[in-house]
Amino acid sequence: MITQPQALSTGAPDPDEERRRIQTARLHAYRDDGPLVHAVAPRLGFSLPPVPTLLVAVVAVVALAAAGLLTSGFWLLVPALVMLVLVLPTAAHNHLGRFDWLTPPLVRGLEFLVIVLVGLAADAPKWLLFVLLYVVGYHTYDTVYRTRQSIWPPAWVFQAGLGWELRLLILGIGAATGQLTWVLAVLTAYLLVLFSVESVTSWVRLDKASAQAGADAEQDLEASPEDAQEAATGEADKG
């Protein structure tokens, strides 16, 4: 399990700089970018402001649906491509703008919107769509709750979770090829096992560590001064 990101400087960090660093790390974690974003975004050489760009992506996806273009074939892949082209370049942004805190909910909301629109257009089972939304939503909630406790999920979870970009591309390709139902079922089952098992094991491990620390502290409090002195003398003799 990864704890709060470590400062790069060895000296005492500037409080304002440390706050900005943690804010950026949190918002990037809440975005849930996957391996494709992490591989491509740093190599673009530029970044786009996240909030305005995401609003443009929302308008574009809604316009596709309103125009009745999300029917079948390649058009069902277009919303994922629109989001990929527009949102991926925002990942390298520092997310320190006044309204950049809106970025994670916009990313997640747009991901959910694309899943629903494409799923309904491809006539996928509604209960499967609901389960997928629940699984991704749980992962988001778990990430937010952990980071607020200064307990950061391991980096491999975001990679293994595929990120919003690969999840949408997989669903888009499945819908465009007429195979969305089984693709949706496999993806949902995979993410359900991944996120639930990792989350449960991490929290159980944390509870055990907290319980052990509490037991050690209680044992230290219960020790008499004579026992403490004897233990200290024994350690000194061993040295």
Residue 5 counted as domain residue: no
Residue 158 counted as domain residue: yes
Per-residue pLDDT, 18: 73
- What's the domain range around 23? 15-238
Residue 10 counted as domain residue: no
> Residue for token digits 């990430």?
143
Please classify residue 9 by burial: count the beta carbons closer than 10 Å to its beta carbon, then call 0-12 exposed, 13-18 middle and 19+ buried: exposed
Residue 210 counted as domain residue: yes
Residue 95 counted as domain residue: yes
Residue 103 counted as domain residue: yes
Residue 72 pairs with which residues in a beta bridge?
none
**Separation of CA 91 from chain center:** 13
Number of domains the chain is built from: 1
CA dist 62 and 231 (Å) reads 71
- What CATH number is associated with residue 179? 1.20.120
**Separation of CA 48 from chain center:** 20
Residue 4 counted as domain residue: no
Residue 226 counted as domain residue: yes
pLDDT tens for residues 92-143?
888 888 899 999 999 999 999 999 999 999 999 999 999 999 999 999 999 9
pTM: 0.80
